[in-house]
Amino acid sequence: MEPVQSTLKKWMRENDNFQENYKKIKSDVLNDPEIKEFLSLHPSITKKEIEKNLIKLYEYKSQSKQCDRCTSLGGCKNMLQGYSPILHVENNEIHLSYEKCHTRIADEKQKQQEKLIRSLYMPKEILDATIDDLIHDDTERNDAIRELIQFIGNAEKGIPRKGIYFYGPFGVGKTYFLGALANKLKEFNISSTLIYMPEFVREIKSSFKDDSINEKIDYFKKADVLMLDDIGAESLSAWFRDEILGSILQYRMMERLPVFFTSNYDLKQLEGQLATTRTGVENVKAGRIIERIKQVSSDVPIYGENRRQ
Ligand code: ADP
Ligand code: MG
């Protein structure tokens, strides 16, 4: 008999503990301010229903609500990372469900926005550039900044049809302007494709090998905002000038899609630069490119000190 008795006693003791635990959990749950508020908003819920759903209520109580107990998404304490519990009532029954928390939503939005800048061969400092840094910093480049701010204002309503052709000496921050703009446009879900001209030429040439050339050209034709950095830095072949650059600009002109450029040359100088290729001097063809550049952008000089150390 002994073993049976002791087993029974043990069971009673544990059951006592169980009863006590249960009571404690129940009182904790029912005294939780948020649960109290929830129940007071739904007076039709019966005691029996509360009793039946004590575990759900306990789960609700134990979870962080909209990040109130977490500092980051990685540090989320909830069973489902990045999800916050909500209680609701249907037909007088208590239901527990989960919704994405603010931090998770913000994180997803940021990841989505990062995808909006397609940049090829751009230094990190350019990709981190911000409009605020530009504005704080000087008066010499006011005109250029004003044009940029105007573009941004228009971009809130949709993609404007004209970009800007920024020209000026080496090191004044022309490329930095493009980076800052691309970062700002992300906020309106406008994507930018930012490419350094000499690399653009290499990229297109290398795509002969894998037959992706048409796909690539199409990509540059259709990008929301195309940014060509340092046009004129390298002399283009007649083929690249007319068949690639010419056709991309032609398409964007017809579709009213903006293009941004940076250059050390003003448009007149660029025209001379584009006219001269290994196959000779072709002023008419260069003039045609300049006409298209004028259709897709307005030219704005940038002056100032050389910021390169
Ligand atoms: P450019 O394209 O006119 O030759 P960059 O845009 O490359 O000049 O700018 C030259 C350097 O100065 C870069 O290192 C850039 O990051 C930095 N720079 C330019 N403008 C700013 C600015 N407003 N605030 C901080 N750094 C800047
Ligand atoms: Mg530059």
With tokens 């390298």, the residue in question is 234
AA letter at 279:
T
* C-alpha 119, offset from chain centre: 13
* Number of CB atoms found within 10 A of residue 48's CB: 8
CA of 129 to the centre of ligand 1 (A): 9
Q: Which SS3 state, helix, strand or coil, does residue 85 take?
A: strand
The enclosing H or E element of 226 equals strand 225-229
CA of 256 to the centre of ligand 2 (A): 25
The ligand 1 atom nearest the CA atom of 306? 10
Q: Which SS3 state, helix, strand or coil, does residue 309 take?
A: coil
Minimal-distance CA residue to ligand 1 atom 5: 173
The enclosing H or E element of 164 equals strand 163-167
Minimal-distance CA residue to ligand 1 atom 14: 308
Q: What is the pLDDT of residue 1?
A: 47
Q: Are 168 and 174 in contact, with CB atoms under 8 Å apart?
A: yes
pLDDT tens readout for residues 212-242 = 888 889 989 999 999 999 999 988 999 999 9
Q: What is the pLDDT of residue 119?
A: 73
CB-based contacts of 97, cutoff 8 Å, min separation 6: 85, 86, 88
Q: What residues of the chain score a pLDDT lower than 50?
A: 1
CA of 47 to the centre of ligand 2 (A): 71
Same domain? 123 vs 94: no
Residue 263 lies in a domain: yes
Name the CA dihedral angle for 117, 249, 202, 235, rounded to a multiple of 10 degrees. -130
Same domain? 138 vs 201: yes
Residue 306 lies in a domain: no
Q: Residue 217's closest CA among 117, 226, 292, 284?
A: 226
Same domain? 198 vs 271: yes
The phi and psi torsions of 62 (rounded to 5 degrees) equal: -80, -15
Q: What is the pLDDT of residue 158?
A: 92
Same domain? 31 vs 148: no
Residue 197 lies in a domain: yes
- Nearest ligand to the C-alpha of residue 174? 1
- Nearest ligand to the C-alpha of residue 144? 1
Cα–Cα distance, 165 to 231 (Å, whole number): 10
Q: Are 249 and 243 in contact, with CB atoms under 8 Å apart?
A: no
Same domain? 124 vs 86: no
Ligand 1 pocket residues where CB is under 6 Å: 125, 133-134, 137, 170-176, 262, 307-308
Cα–Cα distance, 101 to 280 (Å, whole number): 63
Q: Residue 144's closest CA among 120, 122, 175, 118?
A: 175
Q: What is the pLDDT of residue 64?
A: 93
Residue 109 lies in a domain: no
Cα–Cα distance, 237 to 198 (Å, whole number): 12
Residue 309 lies in a domain: no
Q: What is the pLDDT of residue 16?
A: 76
Same domain? 27 vs 130: no
Residue 150 lies in a domain: yes
Among 71, 104, 137, residue at a domain's last position: 104
Residue 307 lies in a domain: no
- Structural domain harbouring 190: 115-301
Q: How many domains does the chain have?
A: 2
Q: What is the pLDDT of residue 137?
A: 60
Same domain? 58 vs 194: no
CA of 114 to the centre of ligand 2 (A): 22
